[in-house]
Amino acid sequence: QSVLTQPPSVSGAPGQRVTISCTGSRSTIGAGYDVHWYQQRPGTAPKLLIYSNNIRPSGVPDRFSGSRSGASASLAISGLQAEDEAFYYCQSYDSNLSASGVFGTGTEVIVL
Amino acid sequence: QVQLQESGPGLVESSQTLSLTCTVSGDSISSGAFYWAWIRQFPGKGLEWIGYISFTGDTFYNPSLESRAALSIDTSKSQFSLMLSSLTAADTAIYYCAGEESYSDRRLDPWGQGILVTVSS
């Protein structure tokens, strides 16, 4: 029941820059709600990567950056590294669901 | 540093009620810094936010699950719990507990390691 749409996969060679889009609607990102991003490696729980659209928690490399515009958001990874291979999920809230949390469909980043 | 650990059965029969517990360590469950949330991840990897409970017992549910989900908290044990009734195979998922920041942005951090729950028919 994801209401935030992400591309199924993106790929890039080491050192390259990749971006992941997160498309919402007027009731989600377009309503002004914050967007958070999570990284999930195989067999582990999601880990907070970016919060409030563009803030990195302590310990997250500055290769990761986030932005939000209108009803969409994006995550950029610059200087791609092998360890960045993982699934990435955006998260926001939905006014149609009384501001319940909603997640993106998830994107697999493949390092070539 | 707050740490979370889920516990409960890994296999539940269809139509029964699932009961999961999350134990909080590293900080007081009553600090007020967090809402205590549950999220699940389906086999196809999709994530669904179930709801949260505050340390005072206030609850907020995803409307799609509100009729079947019930959250509770026991501050004396530093635990909060999820009960999900009328289970079907569609409820098979990894269930995570997490701290949801309560002051402003509601980010989910930290997360427990997750517990796989399979609903058998």
Q: What is the mean pLDDT of chain B?
A: 96
Q: How far is A37 from chain B (nearest CA, A)?
A: 9
For residue B108, which residues of chain A lie inside 8 Å, CB to CB?
A: 36, 38, 46, 48, 91, 101
Q: Mutate which of A9, A28, A100 to disrupt the B interface (most B C-beta within 10 Å)?
A: A100
Task: Count A/B contacts: CB-CB distance under 8 Å.
Answer: 68
**B4: its two tokens:** 């979370």
Give per-residue pLDDT as tens, A20-61. Answer: 999 999 999 999 999 999 999 999 999 999 999 999 999 999
Would you say A53 and A67 are in contact if contact means Cβ atoms under 8 Å apart?
Answer: yes
Q: Is the pLDDT of residue A2 over 80?
A: no
Distance CA A28, CA B49 (A): 14
With pLDDT > 70 as the criterion, what percentage of chain A qualifies?
99
For chain B, which residues lie within 8 Å of any Cβ of chain A, measuring from their own Cβ?
37, 39, 45-49, 51, 60-64, 96, 100, 104-114
pLDDT of residue B121: 85
Q: How confident is the model at residue A3 (pLDDT cuts 50, 70, 90)?
A: confident
**Is the bond leading into B110 cis (omega within 30 degrees of zero)?**
yes
For residue A34, which residues of chain B lie inside 8 Å, CB to CB?
A: 105-107
- Pair type for strands A72-77 and A18-23: antiparallel
The C-alpha torsion from A4 through B93 and A97 to A71, rounded to 10°, is -10
Would you say B60 and B110 are in contact if contact means Cβ atoms under 8 Å apart?
Answer: no
Give per-residue pLDDT as tens, B5-46. Answer: 999 999 999 999 999 999 999 999 999 999 999 999 999 899
Q: What's the mean pLDDT in B55-69?
A: 95
Q: How confident is the model at residue A86 (pLDDT cuts 50, 70, 90)?
A: very high
Q: What's the mean pLDDT in A77-96?
A: 97
pLDDT of residue A47: 98
Residue with token string 């493949």: A110
Mark yes or no for CB contact B105/A36 under 8 Å.
yes
Q: Is the pLDDT of residue A95 over 80?
A: yes
Mark yes or no for CB contact A103/B49 under 8 Å.
yes
Q: Is the pLDDT of residue A1 over 70?
A: no
Distance CA B34, CA B25 (A): 13
pLDDT of residue B87: 97
- Pair type for strands B115-120 and B11-13: parallel
Q: What's the mean pLDDT in B79-102?
A: 97
